[in-house]
Structure 1
Amino acid sequence: MIARDEAPRTWQSMIFNHEIDEPRPMKVICVGCGISGILTGIRLPQQIENLELTIYEKNPEVGGTWYENNYPGVRCDIPSPGYQLTFESNSQWSEFYASGGEIQQYMLNLAKKYDIYRLCKFERAVKSAKWLERVCKWEVTVENVRNGQTEVDHCDVLMMGMGLLNKWNWPKIPGFEDFQGQKIHTAKWDSSIELKDKEVALIGAGSTGIQVLPALQPIVKRLDHYMKGKNWISPVGIGGDELARRKATSGNFKHSQEELDRFKNPQEYLKFRHKIENDIMQAPLAAFYGTEEQKQFHVMSKKFMEDKLVGRPDILNALMPDWSPGCRRLTPGPGYLEACCQPNVDYISAPIKRIYADCIETEGGEKRKVDVIICATGFDVSHQSGPKITGLGGRDLHDLWNPTPEAYMSMCPASMPNFFIYFGPNGGPLTGSTILMLEWVCDYAIASIQKLQREFIKSMVVKPSANKAFSTHVDKFFAKTVFTQPCRSWFKRGTQDGRIVANWPGSGVHSRKALMNPRWEDFEYEMMSETEENPLSWLGNGMTVGQRERTSVTEYLDQKQTINKPVPLNPDVAVESRQPPSRET
């Protein structure tokens, strides 16, 4: 209300003089152009008007993980039909578990089809981002990786699509730097190194090592497989699809030409994809400790490994965990157990004591000469790497996440306005495809950006109470699952008993249902100055763009607008009848 001694303000100064369906300009920056950046480049321009979008990518090409990882045997660890976008199916995957090269080609095809390249600035590494509270914008500092020069950009919304599995380190083993042979990390593969007829040491057997071993075994002279930990090798082809079961039984996961020809029929492939994705999505009960499904899956996994290693009880005893399947990330590993049993493979469960110029010594004192060391020793999953992000009050995101990484709904950290993370803390589905969850995260971010535009909001940031409530729910949820059993897992940032920070508290389809309808009340907002006296000033001048431009304003009559068109209960009744109803009693 205006005080009596104040000069009255005109109505134009208290509302936005714009049409209600004309969104304000919005600048968005996305960091990274793996599948998250590609999704951003496809979805945002389609659904957000008056948008300026820039995608910064440190590599010279799109693809992210699938561009960087090209080690022998690299492939998806869920069936191919489940590892693709809902709106872009590839019916011609050559294998049931797609190779990394094919997935990277899928990424390239997406980028070309939707012309993502027009939005990208390649070989640009984002070094820092700072929230400017006075103007409510992000200041982003970017380094040109070719010449080291820096540039500064600004945006209203910052989206982080860097992923988690992208910073690798050499293992900390005494004497590692003394080795005079060739050393390779699977995350930085050097294809020029000749491995044929070489004596090779493979260190590590997470999902990467499990894929590398069967690819190298037929090539090398001898392969020493150093695996001090334990792991479950997941049964494959156990769902409801007959083709998947048949391929698992045969051990041959390549699709025949007959199968590929059948998949060219869109309806046939859609049915196949429904079956496979349903199998992938229907497994959450196996993660709850003590359920009948969990017990059955434990028995099935145990029998699978026993059958594969029937002739090698030494490997079975060294590899078989005493915790339940799923505590660590499950990997199907086609061919891994079979390769472990081959004559030119030595499975070594003793810890490494030291590495010398030409050999590796285990704690038992045995030394084994090798020509090449391959490290499949994983990534930094601490959430303490990446650009320096500074939010409200100068708060550093890495400090906020030390010791506990948290983000509301997996994507919105505390004190970080207009900020959305793909695959943030608790951003991977309990069951299902991560690529689909990223798609639903993108849709959530789009709805948020549209709200910022529509209501002329300068910034939105999650309330501390909402952020805490989500973390509390996550901890209570996982307390009853196999993930909290005493196994060392990157789900827990490489610890044995730490907090679960990788998984969403539910299945993939659960995350979709949760993210479809954002709880706007869980955010705090800073409005533009015009809204101080009139919070609904965004309603504008009472007009629409169609009225201003003298174009059609009856789009609500179009068939595509009637999303929930009612189905008549009595379809034979003609509503256009001109006969008046009888007024007789």
Structure 2
Amino acid sequence: MIQPLDGTATNGHAEHPGLLPQWHSQPRKLRIIHIGAGATGLCAAWKMERQLTDYELVCYEKNADIGGTWLEKIQQYFVNFAKKYDLMKWVKLQHRVLSAVWQEDRGQWEVTVEHNGETFTDFCDILLNGSGLLNKWRWPKIEGLHDFEGPLLHSAAWDASVDMKGKRVAVLGTGSSAIQITPQVQKVASHLKCFMRSTTWISPPMQRMPVDLGVGKPKGEGFDHIDPETLRDYDNDDPNIAQYFYKPHEIEALRTNPELLLKYRKTIEFEIGKGFEIFYKDSPASKMVKDYMVMSMKSRLENHPVLCKKLIPSWDVGCRRLTPGDGYLEALIKPNVEHVFDEISQITPKGLRTADGNFHEVDVIVAATGFDMAWTPHFSLIGRGGVNIKDKWSPVPNCYLGIAAPGFPNYIIMNGPRGALCNGTVLPSFESQIEYGIKMAKKMQSDRIKAMDVKENITNMLNRHVDQWHKGGVWSSDCKSWYKNNTVNGKIMCWGGSSLHYVKTIKTPRWEHFDITYMEDDPWAFLGSGRTKGEVDQDLEAMTPHIRLSDTPWEVV
């Protein structure tokens, strides 16, 4: 160890007046708060353990269990994932974030959290908002809704204890939740009334991707141990009839052969992704899929004169996110199902009254009416200069790549406005956004950055480009969708391109798009006392990376 002239040393560094006693780019410690413990919270915890050092992390989750938006859907997967990788140590359940206020002098967010009726304050260098767009479900605004005496259910807060067998049931809505619920209720209800106000495309069940069991390969290379009867059953499945349920031998094949499973997953993703051309307005693919969908829906509705007229849209396929709707159209034409197209004017203790004056007496009401979709967070967010994001983003958000907001430093949104919301698989976008946040954290650590604030003019130019793209996309068709804030002609808040196009865009951060403020107001403080980590550690390989047998890439640590 090199000793300073006065004989003292700090962490192996010679003291040097006016310079930090650290090695070149030594990471400073960061505290990170992630709001939510759903898909992004757990992924962030997992990835940070493997890609980041010198940090503290806490995931504040308002619910009593992990899962977030996915709580009622694939929660067990998240529970198993968290248990397998010991991630619960990063999570605090039943902790609701109430507000986050940027403190310029500290270069941190002051976060107010409520737990068990009491509030406390936390601080963080980076705030990750994974609370989600579809975070708060909503009741429909109908007079007398809560006067109803029977069970009143919402699709996002399902009560499995309610028995609908033999009951008269009303389902409100034609969105994705209603499309999933209706076929199941129809099977058990004595009479089902579907209150339907809008048209929607119902795609056929996705064709099953066959699992390659290696039949016909040389003995020992395939699954030749499976009996012929099972294989005949396998070959006779009709992929157009309904949702496919994997057979035990297929599950075993995928479970025991990671390469087969990987190839199978890639093939499914490829088949979905290569259909993106349908989202280009007036393209041959768009026209073809519209003709096909009309034919399919008419066939499945058995050319029902009223339903074909009231349910099949005129706007382009894909203007709203497609829903497969297995069994939905078939359920609508069952004898115990009635269709109501008039607007509901009032709900009474015994049922529903529609605008045409008719009264519909029912035993159970199911509101499949979705979420209170908000582009701004459900907590108060105050950025630089005391600006509230609800004011800053009114009437429409000005968001950078779906992840950052001008005037709100060190703040990363998970799948915010202009993210990959309209097509493809959402989880790869989440993963890439988390990795973007980790890269930002590393940049802040190594360069001793206090605040990174995306530039307003850069964000404006990006969104002009996205607006231009949407002029030729189907999402600008005349449908009402949450992409356009539940309007027909509003600004489209999706990315201008495919989901893979979006992921490629955020894979490489462009730090020149940010205004940067440094610790100590010194952009060169990270140079420290004049040595590298390898020199401080006296590490042979780290001190000689330039000496090598061939012209291979090298770097100094």
When the two structures are superposed, what TM-score results if normalisation uses the length of structure 2?
A: 0.88
Where 1:187 maps in the other structure, the secondary structure is: coil
Distance 1:556 1:62 in 2: 47
* Compared CA separation, residues 556 and 405, structure 1 to 2 (3 A): farther
1:151 to 2:155 alignment: no
Q: State the shift of 1:552 in Å.
A: 4.6
| Equivalent residue letter for 1:410 | G
Distance 1:241 1:479 in 2: 38
Q: State the shift of 1:368 in Å.
A: 1.6
Q: After TM superposition, list the pairs within 5 Å mapping 1:70-81 onto structure 2.
A: none
1:54 to 2:52 alignment: no
| Equivalent residue letter for 2:328 | Y
Where 2:240 maps in the other structure, the secondary structure is: helix
Correspondence for 2:90: 119
Confirm or deny: 8 A CA contact 1:238 1:245 kept in the other structure.
no
Equivalent pairs, count = 515
Q: State the shift of 1:11 in Å.
A: 9.6
Q: Choose the corresponding residue for 1:540, options 524, 528, 534.
A: 528
Q: After TM superposition, list the pairs within 5 Å mapping 1:413-562 onto structure 2.
A: 413-501=405-493, 503-529=494-520, 531=522, 535-554=523-542
Q: State the shift of 1:431 in Å.
A: 2.6
Correspondence for 1:20: 24
| Equivalent residue letter for 2:538 | R
- Superposed CA deviations along residues 79-131 of structure 1, whole A, max 9, x for unmatched, are xxxxxxxxxxxxxxxxxxxxx2xx22211121112211001111000000000
- Superposed CA deviations along residues 365-409 of structure 1, whole A, max 9, x for unmatched, are 222210111100111113245110001000101111111022101
| Equivalent residue letter for 1:31 | I
Confirm or deny: 8 A CA contact 1:251 1:334 kept in the other structure.
yes
Where 2:541 maps in the other structure, the secondary structure is: coil
* Compared CA separation, residues 21 and 538, structure 1 to 2 (3 A): closer
Distance 2:98 2:121 in 1: 10
Confirm or deny: 8 A CA contact 1:241 1:276 kept in the other structure.
no
Distance 2:236 2:279 in 1: 22
Distance 2:17 2:321 in 1: 58
Q: Choose the corresponding residue for 1:178, options 123, 147, 153.
A: 147
1:207 to 2:191 alignment: no
Q: After TM superposition, list the pairs within 5 Å mapping 1:212-251 onto structure 2.
A: 212-238=181-207, 248-251=239-242
Q: State the shift of 1:22 in Å.
A: 2.6
Distance 2:64 2:532 in 1: 43
- Superposed CA deviations along residues 178-206 of structure 1, whole A, max 9, x for unmatched, are 32222111111122222221111000110
Correspondence for 1:165: 134
Q: State the shift of 1:241 in Å.
A: 6.0
Q: State the shift of 1:546 in Å.
A: 3.5
Q: After TM superposition, list the pairs within 5 Å mapping 1:385-396 onto structure 2.
A: 385-396=377-388
Confirm or deny: 8 A CA contact 1:129 1:141 kept in the other structure.
yes
Distance 1:370 1:386 in 2: 34
Where 1:217 maps in the other structure, the secondary structure is: helix
Confirm or deny: 8 A CA contact 2:38 2:69 kept in the other structure.
yes
Q: Choose the corresponding residue for 2:49, options 45, 50, 69.
A: 45
Distance 2:243 2:374 in 1: 37
Distance 2:521 2:386 in 1: 27
Segments of structure 1 that go 5 or more residues without pairing to the other structure are 1-9, 70-99, 567-585
* Compared CA separation, residues 565 and 11, structure 1 to 2 (3 A): closer
Distance 1:309 1:552 in 2: 74
Correspondence for 1:573: none
Correspondence for 2:226: none
Where 1:271 maps in the other structure, the secondary structure is: helix
When the two structures are superposed, what TM-score results if normalisation uses the length of structure 1?
A: 0.84
Where 2:492 maps in the other structure, the secondary structure is: coil
Correspondence for 2:251: 260
1:355 to 2:347 alignment: yes
Where 2:192 maps in the other structure, the secondary structure is: strand
Confirm or deny: 8 A CA contact 1:28 1:157 kept in the other structure.
yes
Confirm or deny: 8 A CA contact 1:175 1:356 kept in the other structure.
yes
Correspondence for 2:222: none
Confirm or deny: 8 A CA contact 2:281 2:474 kept in the other structure.
yes
Where 1:193 maps in the other structure, the secondary structure is: coil
- Superposed CA deviations along residues 207-234 of structure 1, whole A, max 9, x for unmatched, are 1110111122112211111111100002
* Compared CA separation, residues 489 and 365, structure 1 to 2 (3 A): same
| Equivalent residue letter for 2:162 | I
Q: State the shift of 1:364 in Å.
A: 2.4
- Superposed CA deviations along residues 295-330 of structure 1, whole A, max 9, x for unmatched, are 111112112111211252321211001101111121
1:410 to 2:402 alignment: yes
1:291 to 2:279 alignment: no
Correspondence for 1:188: 157
| Equivalent residue letter for 1:289 | K
* Compared CA separation, residues 270 and 246, structure 1 to 2 (3 A): farther
Distance 1:548 1:167 in 2: 52
